[in-house]
Structure 1
Amino acid sequence: MTGCRLANESIEGKRIEGMIRLSVATDDRLAELLEETKTIKYDIIGLSETKRAAETHMMHRDGTGVFLGKRNTTSVSGGVGFIVNSTLLPKIQEIKFLNHRIAYLTFQVDRRLSCTVFQVYAPVADSDPEELADFYESLEEAYTACRSRYKLVILNHYNDLEPELHRRRRAAWAAFNNIKNTTDALSCPRIRAQLFDSIVLPALTYGSEVWTFTQALSERVRVTHAALERRLVGISLSEQRQRNLHREDIRAQSEVRDPLLVIKKKKLGWAGHIMRRNDGRWTRLVQEWYPIGEKRPVGRPRMRWSDSLKEQISLFDGNHLKTHWSTIAKDRMAWKAVIRDHIR
């Protein structure tokens, strides 16, 4: 399917992530956001944490459709919604807000086919287990009941990556099981490692260039890869402990690539691709956007996608920032040198 853009990203691939995060609790903030949308190309923009006190359906003076759900009844947080370009508005069939975390929008693709876009604002990983279970049950029920030919789920910055990581683990093990008879029969470690890196590793790291990589998430990926690596060389976890083998010892036998270095390279490549775009795409605008007039909440800020780039890639003169990573990334040759220096 082609022709629909979520915050300027065409819906042609397997994965869609479109998010412009800005609280629109007041009409003034909503008007400010609508003005910003004039600078980008889009068909649908998914919104989370809108914090509206009541559900809102309205049409802007330029024909843009605005559909916002209400926030959580027990707090001032939550709320999801959509901004729909005037060209797509006549094709909208249904918009429904299931709760303050889940909404969906269905539009007509052609005479026979329709597409449903789910806007989802998931609880954080340390939320109450009952709340997490209710959320995923509600999402699964709505997704299963949807009869559209195309179903797209928009995730936001605060979503827990555990479900996605679970899918990556399952995909990696499925890919490995498809080749395990071949790898068991191979006597050459180098060829066996090449087969593993070309089939299993891409399944594990698919889409990882857009992950917000925390230390806990890095360890989960490392543990999953280590289990696959042990199976590749035919050593169980108990045997590894009995023989007092470290990860480096298993790696010397397997000769496979480090998954975290692969992910880091993918992230650096994607970061450079974003910053060299000059056509008004949302991916760059979001990275360069800085909130004005908003007070930062109390406590340590959540880790963002670009935080690791700022710490590892930006150039510092003592304790003072000399060159930001986004400035370096705009120069293709300089960025290639950065990737070579950091991926060894």
Structure 2
Amino acid sequence: MAEPLENLSTMLNDLNSVSQRIGLKMNMDKTKIMFNVHVTPMPVVVESTKLEVVDEYVYLGQIVRLGKSNFDREVNRRIQLGWAAFGKLRHIFSSGIPQNLKTRLYNQCVLPVMTYGTETWSFTAGRMRKLKVAKRAMQRAMLGVSLRDKLRNEDISNRTRVTDIAQRISKLKWQ
């Protein structure tokens, strides 16, 4: 962070030169610039490389945006990442291994992906509903049943015994 903007170029160039002296190198492809509404955007150059200006980026596993709530986007992103983790294990979930092993695999590999960083989110009923819907869809996939089979959510939860995502998030927030 810098004010005025000229200080940012100076600070980044100093960081780059000191880093090089001790054998480190800044990755200019990963170095991004964001401006808030109080700054007039202008190019920032570090060692002849013009840095990319972005409205948002992923930092430490979460979307960062200035002046805007990023929780809705982050919930959707976490659901996508959860499905990606689930997809990598789909062959195991659809196999004949015992349900308790599938449950353990889900709780250890998929649920943490979906709940990473939730300690910092502000939750609304809609955001929580989206996460629960994704969890229920994954549970159905684990059991090989569809919505047309007309199984109640409680019955599916009793059969899969996966950790409830709302309880997991609540526990993470309290910790």
What TM-score do the two structures reach when normalised by structure 2?
Answer: 0.70
Equivalent of residue 196 in structure 1, options 99, 106, 113: 106
Moved over 6 A (4+): none
Which structure has more relative contact order (CA 8 Å, sep 6+)? It is: 2
SS of match in other structure, 2:16: coil
Point out where structure 2 has 5 or more consecutive residues left out of the alignment.
18-24, 38-50
Q: Greater helix percent: which structure?
A: 2
* Equivalent residue pairs, number: 146
Which residue number in structure 2 is paired with residue 29 of structure 1? none
What is the Cα deviation at residue 233 of structure 1?
0.9
Q: What aligned pairs does 1:200-219 form with structure 2 within 5 A after superposition? A: 200-219=110-129
Q: What aligned pairs does 1:52-63 form with structure 2 within 5 A after superposition? A: none
Superposed CA RMSD in Å reads 3.1
Equivalent of residue 170 in structure 2, options 258, 264, 267: 264
Contact 2:36/2:67 (8 A) holds in 1 = no
Letter in 1 for 2:158: A
Distance 1:249 1:155, change over 3 A: same
What is the Cα deviation at residue 165 of structure 1?
1.6
Which residue number in structure 2 is paired with residue 116 of structure 1? 32
Contact 1:221/1:259 (8 A) holds in 2 = yes
Point out where structure 1 has 5 or more consecutive residues left out of the alignment.
1-43, 45-64, 68-81, 83-88, 95-105, 122-144, 270-344
Letter in 1 for 2:12: F
Letter in 2 for 1:249: D
What TM-score do the two structures reach when normalised by structure 1?
Answer: 0.38
What is the Cα deviation at residue 205 of structure 1?
1.0
- Tell me if 1:253 matches 2:159: yes
Contact 1:186/1:192 (8 A) holds in 2 = no
Q: What aligned pairs does 1:237-316 form with structure 2 within 5 A after superposition? A: 237-239=147-149, 241=150, 245-269=151-175
Q: What aligned pairs does 1:26-45 form with structure 2 within 5 A after superposition? A: 44=1
Equivalent of residue 3 in structure 2, options 53, 58, 66: 66
Which residue number in structure 2 is paired with residue 107 of structure 1? 12
What is the Cα deviation at residue 218 of structure 1?
0.9
Q: Greater strand percent: which structure?
A: 1
Which residue number in structure 1 is paired with residue 72 of structure 2? 162
Sequence identity, in percent? 23
Contact 2:94/2:141 (8 A) holds in 1 = no
2: distance between equivalents of 1:254 and 1:154? Answer: 35
